[in-house]
Amino acid sequence: MPRQYPLNKVRNIGITAHIDAGKTTTTERVLYYTGRIHKVGEVHEGTTTMDWMEQERERGITITSAATYCKWKDCQINIIDTPGHIDFTAEVNRSLRVLDGAVVLLDGSQGVEPRSETNWRLADQYHVPRLIFANKMDKVGADFYDCVKSVHEKLGVQGVPIQLPIGAESTFVGLVDLVEMKAYVWPDDTGSEHAVEEIPADLKEKAQQYRDQLIEALADHDDDFAAKFLDGKEMTKEEIKRVLRKATISGKFFPMLCGTSFKHKGVQPMLDAVCDYLPSPVDLAAKKGHAPNSETEITRESKDDAPFAALAFKIQSDPHVGKVTYFRVYSGSIKAGSYVFNANTGNRERLGRILRMHANKREEIEEVFAGEIAAGVGLKAVKTGHSLTDEENPIVLESMKFPEPVISVAIEPKSKADEEKMGVALGRLEDEDPTFRVRTDTETNQTFIAGLGELLLVFFVVCLRREFNVQGNVGAPQVAFRETFRKKVES
């Protein structure tokens, strides 16, 4: 099967934010406007596409990262929706490792929140270019300009508006595009249509002021653009877009947009920005790695005709197909039924089936190419962070680092029948989340589970019951009692 989209038209992005900033709502609108779904689901109704797990719908939060894909204009966009809760940091960490770009959502009334800062540092660690989308502009207290200030003060980066809001809070109706110098107005909250108009008279002066600031900021990122700017010449929108893309991909310039996903305003321009300004795999430097059992550096360029190299970033147990391994292809291509070489372990395994994921739904495909994200069935020994490569040209890609667990509890099966099943189930859950640990105390014979937070452990205990039909009791650890001589005594 030939590649459907040229590599330079592929975008691999994640959507990250502090909890309740509107990530899943935004993803739902993206899927709707790109035609991937035909009915919008809502978080408060438990009907969203990406939050498909029962626990996610009950709690109204994202717990595990979910992958999907859609098409916008002439681009294929592969999306990973990530959790916002601190206990599920591992999901954000491994997602950012394999993504080429990200959309960072801010609550328009809160600006940069603690989890936003944590995610930002993770994105810095993996050098991920980002757009910043100030969401919930219809909310009481929402202020786009405060968000811009918050980005400067808390993140210490150059967040530059490429849009300005029209109206505020309940009067928010649209935005001004500072590149096109046009206004986008949504007449109602359904998002069924929007109008492209002249900029409102009361915003023209402010729009020109911010456009001048945008052009001045871009002049630092391109010599020809800077020369034209210093000569006082007028910039065309094509020139601005070219340098804006270059600056964003450099990872030192962060365009800021605004909207309200819940009210269907600003989503389409955000999708335009993803295609226009975030990188394709060919825009980024070749991936570095090293030869197995050697420190010799090797690089892989994003080309279909290069040797196959991919990174496994997520393991998931599926009741229907078994172990599912999510991987990002960095170079080459591979067909279903082929053998892959695990450069970390030296093992050779058969990739039985290749799946393109849409949340919990699967589409079987024959072949996957450089720059794409897919899932494989049949890789029994692969772990998160392992490099899957061509056996003749192996490469160990940079893996990912996860924080150590901070909380642990004791767990025991409720019955003898649950004992064997619990060991198997805990082993599978440990495979799925690198921050989840299982150990047995040799003195008390208790089994302990550990993770990044109480909510994470509660989630896994519920998984034991619902997915593996294992009943367990959770409690405090027992302390081994020891006696020792303190002094001599005479008998």
Instruction: Find the helix or strand (DSSP H, E) in which 244 lies.
Output: helix 237-249
Answer for the pair 444, 480: CB distance below 8 angstroms, yes or no: yes
Pick the more confident residue, 476 or 402: 402
- Could you tell me whether strands 66-72 and 75-81 are parallel, antiparallel, or unpaired per DSSP bridges? antiparallel
Pick the more confident residue, 443 or 160: 160
Distance set, CA 84 to CA 81, 97, 104, 124 (Å): 10, 17, 11, 17
List 309's β-bridge partners, or say none.
331, 389
What is the mean predicted confidence (pLDDT) over 329-336? 95
pLDDT higher than 80, residue 490: no
Query: What is the pLDDT confidence band of residue 60, given thresholds at 50, 70 and 90?
Result: low
CATH 3.30.70.870 boundaries in the chain: 407-475
pLDDT higher than 90, residue 430: no
- Token pair, residue 474, equals 């959770």
CATH 3.40.50.300 boundaries in the chain: 7-283
What are the backbone angles phi and psi of residue 106, rounded to the nearest 5°? -120, 145
In this structure, what is the dihedral angle of CA atoms 451, 454, 457, 463, given to the nearest 10 degrees? Answer: -150
What's the pLDDT at 296?
87
Hey, what CATH topology would domain 407-475 get?
Answer: Alpha-Beta Plaits (3.30.70)
What is the mean predicted confidence (pLDDT) over 277-291? 94
pLDDT higher than 90, residue 415: no
Pick the more confident residue, 472 or 126: 126
What's the pLDDT at 1?
60
What's the pLDDT at 406?
85
Pick the more confident residue, 429 or 44: 429
Per residue in 13-49, pLDDT (tens digit) is: 999 988 888 888 999 999 999 998 888 877 766 677 7
- Looking at every residue in the chain, the average pLDDT score rounds to 89
pLDDT higher than 90, residue 374: yes
What's the pLDDT at 43?
74
pLDDT higher than 70, residue 422: yes
What is the mean predicted confidence (pLDDT) over 211-238? 92
pLDDT higher than 80, residue 156: yes
What's the pLDDT at 174?
95
pLDDT higher than 70, residue 84: no
CATH 2.40.30.10 boundaries in the chain: 287-397
What is the mean predicted confidence (pLDDT) over 133-145? 96
Answer for the pair 100, 129: CB distance below 8 angstroms, yes or no: yes
Query: What is the pLDDT confidence band of residue 326, given thresholds at 50, 70 and 90?
Result: very high
What's the pLDDT at 62?
67
Hey, what CATH topology would domain 287-397 get?
Answer: Elongation Factor Tu (Ef-tu); domain 3 (2.40.30)
Share of the chain above pLDDT 70, in %: 96
Q: DSSP secondary-structure letter at 43?
A: G
Query: What is the pLDDT confidence band of residue 58, given thresholds at 50, 70 and 90?
Result: low
Sequence-separated (6 or more) residues with CB below 8 Å from residue 102: 13, 14, 15, 16, 96, 123, 128, 129, 130, 131
Query: What is the pLDDT confidence band of residue 75, given thresholds at 50, 70 and 90?
Result: very high
- Could you tell me whether strands 361-365 and 353-358 are parallel, antiparallel, or unpaired per DSSP bridges? antiparallel
pLDDT higher than 90, residue 82: no
What's the pLDDT at 289?
93
Query: What is the pLDDT confidence band of residue 479, given thresholds at 50, 70 and 90?
Result: confident
What's the pLDDT at 47?
74
Angstrom distance (rounded) from CA 254 to CA 250: 10
CATH number for the domain running over 7-283: 3.40.50.300
What's the pLDDT at 54?
66
What is the mean predicted confidence (pLDDT) over 278-298? 92
Angstrom distance (rounded) from CA 310 to CA 332: 9
Out of 248-262, 307-321, 417-431, 466-480, least confident range: 466-480
Per residue in 88-112, pLDDT (tens digit) is: 777 888 899 999 999 999 999 999 9
Per residue in 188-215, pLDDT (tens digit) is: 888 778 899 999 999 999 999 999 999 9
What's the pLDDT at 93?
86
Can you spell out the DSSP letters for 88-140? GHHHHHHHHHH-SEEEEEEETTTBS-HHHHHHHHHHHHTT--EEEEEE-TTST
Angstrom distance (rounded) from CA 349 to CA 383: 13
> Amino acid letter at 359?
A
List 135's β-bridge partners, or say none.
107
What is the mean predicted confidence (pLDDT) over 424-432? 85
What's the pLDDT at 63?
64
Per residue in 238-266, pLDDT (tens digit) is: 999 999 999 999 999 999 999 999 999 99
Query: What is the pLDDT confidence band of residue 491, given thresholds at 50, 70 and 90?
Result: low
In this structure, what is the dihedral angle of CA atoms 33, 106, 114, 95, given to the nearest 10 degrees? Answer: 30
Rounded (5°) CA angle 404-409-414: 135
Query: What is the pLDDT confidence band of residue 136, given thresholds at 50, 70 and 90?
Result: very high
